[in-house]
Amino acid sequence: MALNNRLSPQRRDWSALAFNGLPPGSGVLFEEVTLDQRIGSEAVALLIDPEADQMVLKGTLDLNLKTGIVATSYGPVLFLIWWIPPIKDGRPTAFYEQVMNPLYPNTSEVLRRVSEQSQLHVVLVDATGQVVTVFEFQNNFGFDKVCAGVDAVRVSWKGPHDFASAKAAYEEEYEVEDVLAGRYD
């Protein structure tokens, strides 16, 4: 049974919440956070965007997710491409690429945690780590399938596992536009 982590409808002030030690630039990563004491700790997606205020002006966020696992000569790479429509000339309005090591046990743990929640909370933070707002989505992103894929790779992978080199190979071999267009499916 999924954890009902739907936030109460009251208006919230997120200005007291901030994250330290975030990587430079834009991107997405998972964190354990307590947004509501009634719910307790949950896994959220931190969406780091130096121009976060621009996104807030729109009022809503149409967020999509494309996931997959690729095998490089150095090891497997899990990719999650978070993208915002519309797609023009093969490129979405905005996208955030997240890569994870599917052989790392914590990857399965965080994906399982996310898959067991009724809602996905996307915490929008600016370049300083300051929370700008929180978007709440019905959790229909298919994290249970992503987690199953990661678990299968962890059991079956017998090759090398140098994740830094695997990530570099993935970034060199795969283009986001081609991944979104399904050219590697």
pLDDT per residue as tens, the chain (185 positions): 678 999 987 778 888 899 999 999 999 999 999 999 989 999 999 999 988 877 777 777 899 999 999 999 999 999 999 999 888 887 888 899 999 999 999 999 999 999 999 999 999 999 999 999 999 999 999 999 999 999 999 999 999 999 999 999 999 999 988 888 888 77
Residue 1 has what pLDDT? Answer: 64
Taking the domains of the chain in order of start, what are their residue ranges?
A: 27-180
Q: What pLDDT score does 90 carry?
A: 77
CB atoms within 10 A of CB 78: 22
Burial-class residue 72 by CB neighbours within 10 Å (0-12, 13-18, 19+): buried
Predicted pLDDT of residue 149:
97
Distance CA 110, CA 25 (A): 23
What is the sign, positive or negative, of the torsion defined by CA atoms of 85, 91, 94, 100? positive
CA distance 49 to 128: 10
| Residue 63 pLDDT | 93
